[in-house]
Each structure stands twice: as C-alpha cells, then as structure tokens.
Amino acid sequence: MFALALAAGSIDECKADESDAAAWNPQNVPRFDNPTRATFREKVLRTSTPAVISGHLSRWPALAWDDEKLLSECGERLLAPDCDEEALSVHDSDARGRWVSMIKLAQSDRVRTLSDLLALIRTSVPGEGEEFEMRELGSERHRSVHPSALYLHDKPIDVLCPRLLDALRVPAYFPVDMLRQPGAQWARSYRHGCNASHGLGSKFNNVGHPSLFLGREGTRSGLHADGHSASFWMAVLRGKKRFRLVSPSDAYSFKPLDCKARRKKHPGEYCSKFNASLFDDVAVPDAVTIWEANVSAGEFIFIPERWAHEVVNLEESLAVSYNFVDDNNLVGHLQWLLFHLFHRDPDWQAASKSKEWRKFYTLLCSYLLDHSSGRFPMLTLYDFANSEKSVAPITWSQFMARNTPEGDPKYDAKRYEKEFYEEMRRPPFASPKDVERIVKEGMLPEILLAAREDLKGYEGKRLRVA
C-alpha cells in the first residue's frame, strides 16, 4: 500500500503536488493532438481508455468569448429560472454520501444572475470577507456559504446561455448519442426540468445537456462515476482543471457507497458514489492505478463509462460537459437500465408505478424497439460506427438532427408515439421475466449484433454527414 500524499482542500496544495510528484505515482492520462477519428476509435473508445485531446476545438467560436461577450449575451440570465430550482452548488467533504459530494443551493438575492456570480468569483478571496446564507435544496436548512466556494455545476446551457450553445461544436469523435434516441417526448422527463425556449431546445427538447460549469480556483467536484453507464467528454473553454480517475474495478478500493461487488451477478451495477477522495491522504492498494490529467483551455477530456473521477479547478474555469451513449457503451447502458429495473428493486411491481421506473422502462423499450425494427437512430449509429471518414465538428442543431427522431424530415410524432406504445405493450418486453432472461443469458450483445446485421441493407439511405 502507498498513500496519496496530496490533500486537495486548497489549490495551493494542488500546486505543491506539481513539484512533489514523487510522493505518489499517478499514471498520466494519454494525450493526443487532434487524432483522426479512426485513431480515436481504436485507441480510446474501443479500449475504454480516458484521454485528453488537444488541437481539436480550435474552430469553436466559444473559445474567443471573453467576459464582455459572455456578460452581454447571458449576463442577465437567471441561475435558477422558474423551471429549475437549483442555482449553484458547493462542495462539502462531509456530504460524501451525496452525488459528487455537493450541496445544491437555491437562488439567493446576493447571486441571482450569471453576472452576479462572475462578479463574486472575481472579488471574493477565500477566508476573507463575509459569508452569506443560502437555502439548501431538498430541505429548509440554510447554510453559510463563502462566495469563493460557489460553483455553477452541471447547469443546462440551453437554458442558461443559449447563445453560448450556438458557439459550441460537437467534437467529431462523438457523432452519436443513443440517449437522444427516444426523442423529445421521452427526453422531457429525462434530466433537468427545464423546457428551453431557445430554438434548439424547443425543437429537440435538449433538456440539460450539454451543461456548463463555472467556478473559481479551488472549487471542486467529489469522487463519482456518471450514471446510466454513460461516457462523457468535458471541454475547457477557460482556465485549467485537474482530473483524477480510477477504472471501474479499481473504484472498489475507495469506500464505494452504492455497490456491493456483485458485478458478475448483475452486470449493470457499478460504483458511482464514494466516501473517499483521490485528492486526500487515502490508502491506495499497489495494484490500483490513479490516473491524472490537467486539462487546459482549448482541450477536452474523454472519460469512459463507469470510470470514477474527481475534479479540482486549478484556475477559474469555464467548461462544458456532455454525457452520451454510443455503440461502445450501449450494452453497458442497457445492462444498467435492466439492473435498475429488475435487480436493484426486486419489488418491481411497486416500483413500476414510479416515474423513475417508467422512464427507464420506456428508454429500454425504445432501444429494443429501434433495434428490432432497424429504425432511426440505429442506422445513424451503424453508419458512423463503420465509417472512418473524418468529419468536422458540427453544431448542436446538426447533432440533434442526427440523433433525435425529430431531426428526421419524415418524422411523424403521432405515428412514432403510437408505434412506441404498441411496442411497449407487446411481449417479450412486457414481462420482467423475459427481460431478466435476456440479461442472465447474456443475450444483449447478440441482440445488438443482430440488429447491426439487419441494418446493413439500410446503409447510407438517410444519413446526412456534415
């Protein structure tokens, strides 16, 4: 055993680590300079390896946004608009049972808009000046918060700053997102409660992703793995962030709170919450590798499905993140859905009345329906998975057109919905026993492979590659 000698309670300690790397031995996350799509697929996606990519975001208009531009476009936008109670978050080591060890805060009169937040971030000095009271979400409690600790964390860009969304692009390595497959009517309940009024949001019902992060030096997110077995990429627009990561199997060494090493029996289960920090002085078994990357403005990091990660902002940082499911993590995602439906909650009959259960079940049916009928967007997935053409980064509107049924010129909402409901009522997916059998017998990969075979005849028919 050796110990992580770094306590990252403050940014100075993080910086100290740069000159004291011998104290422990992180593995550097591999870096690539604008790799081809083929290289990225082979070396990163196919092997579920984290990676930092430089040289690929140069055409993003958002990289040229300075404070003046950000404030003129979105300075007066409310951090907590009517549809979303959460305004800001603060990290708290005592909140490790919670998602990302963060406390979510409602709006305060002191910080209502993006411009209020930026002003506070710029003028507050940790340990100096007054704290103010903010209400914790989900409780009537108020907590005293130092302005320097406020973190705009994972907030929907389409709601908070739609113009910024227009100035972002989608990296060419991630043309597909199966999470968009069920379309607007299903996506609506999927994440944040906001229905964006912006063009992109209203047409495609973007609901929450990509999301925005803004925090001063020293703000941080606790150790966690993202849900749904989704992979994600995070692009840094300004500043510098330090990531520490562990693979899904190594994650068991860090006091996981929501998994019980039963993964073989239940393939969809993995650890997502932890009572430990990779920036603290914790014991690390020899066989465990901690990965580390500093990601600077103009770069993005890719984090594969189920990898646990923890983040500290080394400088004031503005960043954008997007979670997705493509052909590399689709089986894992389906297993995760099944795990949540049938294993985590054995009393599924009772659970089936809950909104959450319904949502997962609907998603699952949607995937299986589209697989079985060879319908959009399996086709898109198939084409991209098999094309090594280098495509330029695309806008979010183009991305949504590719990845949602609404983007299909022949999309007929009523028909889609009708077919969907018919399919949901049809066996075998109406019976949990059948679905359980699919998982137990490990049939998911075969189903997906068969679906791909079926799709060969459709190749190229309705794909619009930028």
Ligand X SMILES: O=C(O)CCC(=O)C(=O)O
Task: Report, in Å, the least distance between residue 60 CB and ligand X.
Answer: 18
Counting contacts by CB under 6 A, is residue 292 touching ligand X? no
Task: Report, in Å, the least distance between residue 183 CB and ligand X.
Answer: 24
Counting contacts by CB under 6 A, is residue 273 touching ligand X? no
Counting contacts by CB under 6 A, is residue 240 touching ligand X? no
CA-angle at 456, arms to 453 and 459, nearest 5°? 150
Task: Report, in Å, the least distance between residue 164 CB and ligand X.
Answer: 16
Q: Show contacts of 358-365: CB within 8 Å, 24+ apart.
A: 359/186, 359/189, 359/190, 361/424, 362/182, 362/186, 362/424, 363/182, 363/186, 363/337, 364/334, 364/337, 364/338, 364/429, 364/435, 365/420, 365/423, 365/424, 365/429
CA separation, residue 175 to residues 38, 242, 253, 381, 392 (Å):
13, 26, 34, 8, 10
CB 150 within 8 A of CB 120: yes
Query: Can you tell me which of 186, 213, 360, 396 binds ligand X, judged by CB under 6 A?
Result: 213
Is the CB of 201 or the CB of 215 nearer to ligand X? 215
Counting contacts by CB under 6 A, is residue 311 touching ligand X? yes
Site for ligand X in 90-149 (CB under 6 A): none
Total number of residues that touch ligand X (CB under 6 A)? 11
Task: Report, in Å, the least distance between residue 224 CB and ligand X.
Answer: 7
Query: Can you tell me which of 101, 107, 148, 221 binds ligand X, judged by CB under 6 A?
Result: 221
Counting contacts by CB under 6 A, is residue 319 touching ligand X? yes
Counting contacts by CB under 6 A, is residue 86 touching ligand X? no
Task: Report, in Å, the least distance between residue 105 CB and ligand X.
Answer: 15
Counting contacts by CB under 6 A, is residue 242 touching ligand X? no
Counting contacts by CB under 6 A, is residue 226 touching ligand X? yes
Counting contacts by CB under 6 A, is residue 231 touching ligand X? no
Counting contacts by CB under 6 A, is residue 305 touching ligand X? no
Position with the least CB separation from ligand X = 221
Task: Report, in Å, the least distance between residue 311 CB and ligand X.
Answer: 4
Task: Report, in Å, the least distance between residue 294 CB and ligand X.
Answer: 13
Residue 250 CA to chain centroid, in angstroms?
20
Task: Report, in Å, the least distance between residue 356 CB and ligand X.
Answer: 20
Is the CB of 204 or the CB of 302 nearer to ligand X? 302
Counting contacts by CB under 6 A, is residue 309 touching ligand X? yes
Counting contacts by CB under 6 A, is residue 306 touching ligand X? no
Site for ligand X in 146-185 (CB under 6 A): 154
Any idea how long the chain is? Answer: 466
Is the CB of 309 or the CB of 340 nearer to ligand X? 309
Strand partners for 313: 241
Is the CB of 245 or the CB of 365 nearer to ligand X? 245
Q: Determine the interface stretch with ligand X among 39-47, 191-199, 226-234, 255-263 (rule: CB under 6 A).
A: 226-234
Q: Which residues make up the interface to ligand X (CB under 6 A)?
A: 154, 213, 221, 226, 232, 234, 241, 309, 311, 319, 321
